[in-house]
A and B are shown apart, each in its own frame.
Chain A
Amino acid sequence: MGDTATRRSSAAALTAVFLLWSAPGSPDPVSRPASSPTGVPKTCTATLCAVNAGARTVDVITGIGHALRIVRFQTGEACLIKVGGAVAAMGDLKIGVIVRIHYRSTAGQELAESIETLSPKGQGG
């Protein structure tokens, strides 16, 4: 995916206005609010497309229909990361996996509280 820190810098300006709400077990995103008050816990299920351990950010691909968006999440030290159900580090996150991120919107950025991988990127059948 290239130099993630450089390539993703312009995405940061876009990510704050596009949120995807997805309650666990509720795959239809239609019922989600278009935006939520700051601090309200939210969930995003999407495909990981960039990890920047130095900046402590992860980027995911999400969207509606063919209106695709990249959303950047900031992770703090307290962010719980799980890979395959086991506690892991940012460096263990692999591009292309589907992740569920619990986060809150604060001060114009999305702050991830936990990131867990759901499965290898979906295969057929």
Chain B
Amino acid sequence: MMGRGGAFRISAAGLVLLLAAACARSAKPGDPLRGLTAEQRDRFERGREVFGRVFTPETGLGPLFNSNACAECHEDPVPGGPGDEVELHVAAFDPRGATCDPLIERGGPVIQQMVTPALRSVLGIDSEPVPSAATARAMRTTPDVLGFGLLDAVSDEAILAHADADDSDGDGISGRPNRFFDGRLGRFGRKALVPTLREFNEGAFTIEQGVTNPAVPTEETVGGNPLPEGVDPVPEPEIGQEAIDRADAFVRFLAPPAPKTFTRSAKRGRAVFSRIGCADCHVPRLRTGHHTVKALRNKEVAAYTDLLLHDMGPELADICLGLATPSEFRTEPLMGLRLSNHFLHDGSAGSIDDAIRRHGGEATASRDRFNGLTDRDRRALLEFLLSL
């Protein structure tokens, strides 16, 4: 029988464990991943500077751009968070052959909304012209990129394990991957066109800020036309490899924000989330594979996405891109959802409730089940989602 001394030791040990758990603070928005080396932490901090750097025409901004800094859009509540800026994409879809033209020769697919004074004075434009050949325009909100390094580290095989392009299991869900133009599986962007986080970051410097870099050494055209002489004073590339590497490290090492502690109601909501089929596409957990960075290797990420395309119905349809038809979208990751105040790919839903009710296509059955929930279950589900 345990004496008083033994019981005291067990209690003390338990207290120490409780204190240790309390001290292991959950990641706040903007925190780096746990387990980074000192060198990686240094790169993360140096990258934060590049991410927040405000470019001017004299340092490479434009001549066509959507923002003058990464953090101008990805800002709320911290650099890397979502933002309220919305940008314009275009494409031309031919339903007869299900072919997609991203209108590259007419300035697509991203149409820049701002120009430098030099370009304005020469061409008399305030933004890039929208090509008349576009069959659709797409508005795109600024997502948060917290935890995207982990998404990048998920293997293609892990993503494809959730794919069921022909709905062979008959559940009404037919997720399929998008592929970049060289055939590689895509995962980033609302249409999951871009295969890697690195490429997404490199491309973003040029298309969003007009800042060329070693990977993208050419400026965007003006609706397919070359830039006039003299409007782009900084020689290409406008930033070097080191700056790109730092910015990439910052984004890559951003931790996903830990969910808020689930209340009893939120836990009920989590069960509802699975029961009504949300988790069929918003897959709660993905696992990363081998990675040179220990903090990214063999980690479970509660991303609530399968990174696949799903048909969301005609009401949400906009542009095609790659293999994605106008009504197909990549499942939006729900980690960090509580940081947003506008929802869906175009920000047109003012609440999560509204966003859910507008799900169609493959999500019709789940949406209908949501609509049929009791008030208590619906509130619980929304509380769960607002905890993410």
Contact = CB atoms under 8 A, between A and B. Distances in A.
B182 A47 contact: yes
A27 B195 contact: yes
A24 B221 CA distance: 30
Q: Name the residue in B104, B196, B207 with the highest tally of chain A Cβ atoms < 10 Å from its Cβ.
A: B104
Interface string B221-250: 100111000000000010000000000000
Contacts of B201: 65
A65 B183 contact: no
Contact of B176 (A46, A63, A125): A125
A98 B215 contact: no
Which secondary structure dominates where chain A touches chain B?
A: mixed
A125 B165 contact: yes
A119 B323 CA distance: 14
B194 to A, nearest CB: 5
A11 B101 contact: no
Contacts of B182: 22, 27, 45-47, 62, 98
Given A30-B198, A47-B181, A67 B203 contact: yes
Interface residues of B, number: 49
Contacts of B110: 66
A96 B99 contact: yes
Contacts of B202: 30, 64-65, 67
B99 to A, nearest CB: 7
B177 A14 contact: no
Interface string B206-225: 11000000111110110011
B207 A125 contact: no
B354 to A, nearest CB: 27
A61 B87 CA distance: 22
Q: Name the residue in A29, A60, A62, A124 with the highest tally of chain B Cβ atoms < 10 Å from its Cβ.
A: A124
Given A10-B225, A18-B218, A34-B214, A65 B163 contact: no
A80 interface: no
B189 interface: yes
30 contacts: A10-B224, A10-B225, A11-B105, A17-B217, A18-B217, A28-B196, A29-B199, A30-B196, A30-B202, A34-B217, A46-B182, A60-B181, A61-B181, A63-B181, A63-B203, A64-B206, A65-B201, A65-B203, A65-B216, A66-B193, A67-B204, A68-B102, A68-B104, A98-B182, A118-B183, A119-B183, A122-B179, A123-B323, A124-B177, A125-B163
Given A27-B184, A65-B203, A66-B203, 5 more contacts: A17-B218, A61-B102, A69-B104, A122-B183, A125-B177
